[in-house]
Structure 1
Amino acid sequence: MNNKLSIIIPQFIFLALFIFLIPHHSLAQVSKDSSLHYRKAILNPSQPQDLPSGVHYFTKKKERDIESKDTLNAIYDLRLLSIAEFKIGNNFSSENHIVEALNLIESMQTKDTLINSRVGLYNQLGRIYRASNNATEAIRTFDNALQIANKLSDSVIILNNKANIYKDLLDYKNALDIYSFLYEKRFDFTNDYQTTLVTDNLGLVQSKLNIPEGLDNLKNALTLRQKNNDLIGQHASNTHLSEYYLDRKDTTKALFYAEKALSLSDKINSSSFKLESISLLMNMDKNPLIHEYKKLTDSIANAKQIAENKNAFLKYNVAEEQKKTQASILLQEIESRKRLAYQALAFIIFLILVGSYFIYRNRYRKAKIEEIYKTETRIAKKVHDEVANDMYKVMTSLENNSEIDTTILDEMEKIYTKTRDISRENSAIDLRKDFGKQLNDLLLGYKNSKVNIITRNLSKMPWDGISEMKKTAIYRVLQELMTNMRKHSHATFVTLVFEKEGKKIHINYRDNGVGCDLFKKNGLQHTESRITSINGTINFESKQGDGFKASIII
């Protein structure tokens, strides 16, 4: 058992290494070789199964290329599928492949560079028009292809196909002009296929015009096609030689070449080629019923062909119109979105401007208030340092002079007291300290033997969350109310109630003084200005003999 394992395991390892070490480019080369093989099977079929196998291969390849978003290869696949289906006789499928390929080209941003693909597709479309007996559109399509063709090989094929239309219309003169021009250029051709194509068609038109060189050209083309094993080309040559001898009533030779053409159509496995060969054989039969039958079947076939093979270019144009309509709708949507975006941007800019206005206005107001407070503090300091101190020095010197009237000294002392009070009322407030304690000290400073001051909830207020500007305003306003009380109200009892409701602070002041006439306001305008500057409100309520009330909301 162990001996068997010792043999099997190395073999397994070798097989695994062989599989995993196969170069990736080798696999790619296999795929490339397969594509070349089936491409040749479509363009130059030599066996009956070549065209069907080519269609099967490139149908699967197209699906893979579209799934992997390889658009260029998908267009290449569709071109070959269209050619193969056309050779088999499935014109409707051939048209569908062309329309799909053209739509893929139009979907690409680099569509203007895909000249070869567009030329090939237009050329194939023109061949379908020819098969549909639509000569006018076929010629127009070939002319469109010629306008963008930039290679001689492309121009040769397109001109040859255009001349075929004139040949179908029995306009042999125009056909001869084109074939003769191409025949003169045959030495510039890159392959025998183009040479035999032009030579064979030239020989047929020459034979129709009874030009002696016609038969030689037909036979030369057939010989070269046999040498190159060109089955489709041989089918065309044998068909044309059969026509040549049939036109000259040599039915024996005509039948010989017609039967060769029929045999080749079986090898190619093309129903359209086989039908063409059978139709040629029927033309040689002398039975009038067969000719009548052929005429009727040809008529029915043409009608059916036109009905089934709807104008491929029309379908393409309809698709293009639909794209344009969709593009127009999309453009309108984009424009609408742009318009909405601009409107939204304008609205945002408007909001920013409005917001900036209020922000700068608030900053300006704040700066003005701060400047006022600084000015008051500066004036208070100046009054204290210069006026009050100088007044005190004068009073001290006068007190030592016995000749000075005491009444004058009393008046000077009153002036000194006023200046000291003004300085005190407008002196700087240190907001870094406990504001509640500072405010309590301020209010209790007005308490004396005649006036009782009561505060409620002052210590419970969240002063830390209040801005310095609002603290300063509250301090100054309450200071002015208390000063006004001491000077004018003769009150003996004052209450101040502090409350916090939501984000607002409510302060209610009340005294039992003599009251006042609010119309005169007794110098309280300044308190209103201070409260308004911080977006607060202050209301007064008073009448003579009934005390004074003030309600502050900040």
Structure 2
Amino acid sequence: MAIIQQNEGDYSSSETTATEILPLFRKNTNPAYKCAVFNLLGINYENLYDYDNAIYYYNQAYKQADNELQKVVLKNNIAVVYMDKEDYQHAIQILFPLALNKDLLNGAENQARALDNLGYCYFKIGDPKSLDYMNQSLKIRKQIKDSFGIMASYIHFTEFYKDNNFEKSNSYARMAYEKATEINNVNIRLKSLALLIENSIGNESKKFSMLHLHINDSINKVRQKAKNQFAKIKYDSKKEKEENLKLKAQKAENALQLEQQKNRNQLLYFVVGIIILISIFIFNFLVAKSKKEKIKTSYNTEIRIAKKLHDELANDVYHTMAFAETQDLSNSQNKEKLLNNLDTIYSRTRNISKENSTIETGSLFISNLKDMMSGFNTNEVNILTNGIDTINWATIDNNKKITVYRVLQELLVNMKKHSQCSIVILTFKKNENKLQIDYTDNGIGATFDEKNSRNGLQNVENRIQAIKGTTTFDTKSNKGFKVSFIFPI
């Protein structure tokens, strides 16, 4: 693409396209490709009058050249850039060895080019050797019928004779124009016409000027049209590529969504199955209990259990399903985490069923609570309460009464199993719109790790959290055990 743009005279676009190639180069890229790209960039910068960059990239191409012919051509290109910069001495230093070494030049065409450029440099610095070198070059070019080279020689002779032989200069300019027209080289046609304009006067100068304007305008239109057409082709190609990539991405996304939906469905079936089994288990439990309790008590128990399932399990089930939807279940860690979550749901459900024996929440609540606590009194352990009768239990929500009952039951069971204490003090106090209950015993206490390892104490914390309360443990080994929980009433 860069070559096409260069051939159409769009050197800026060619430079942009060629620059996109450079990041693709690797250590194992064929040096011939690198040489070609660097040379392409050198030509573009030369035509854009960025001579320093042109020399840089010609030198980069020279480093990648793998044969003497390429190196000779690139050296000549570098010399031409110095000629464009009017640094003729530097150009001569490069061209002189080339012009004298026929074996190095590897062909008459290269020798003629070096001789012509060397002669032109000598001409520009006023050295009389210039005419001999330029004549040698033209003779070789005519012998090998190098039309492009002959045309270049004519241009140089036009400039050589411009100041001292008007007729010869004009003649060479006309021959250059004719040769450029013959081989359809627009740039040389324009250059030779510019020289003819300088060497002509009157109507003839006007004729050449009009011809120059016409050709220049035509070539600009042709190049702009080609540039626009090429830009459209490039845009269409890019757009088609993007659409293909988008289509592939959409197909991949659809396949992924189908797979995710399949996984979600499987998980949903699994969870629904577990919930159905749990529901059957709870239902059977309630049916068995209903034979021993009144209809109202059974009804209240069902409502409480249903609420507990909703409050304690619904959130876990939701998060478990969300986890399954968003994570890759083929990953072993994610799969293990999912199974652990499901096991937790099952364990929590099983605990709910175990904990839900009937608790009186009406007028008999406080007496039943005292009876439960007094049941832990023994010859070795004395249970003391403080402030329990100052609380208006009738204003406290039934669910919170049940929580208090169960929490105290858990603490006393834990005390009986682990504490080895002789005194337990339970303090009840109302603090504005909150109820605070403090438990203290003089047992062996427990470390933080031991506290975490005891399911009973973990249940205490979970129950208090369920009624939007907080729990504070003071667990120091051999210094007794203290826990305080507070919740809104």
* Structure with greater contact order relative to length (CA < 8 Å, sep ≥ 6): 1
TM-score when scaled to structure 2? 0.42
Structure with larger Rg: 1
TM-score when scaled to structure 1? 0.37
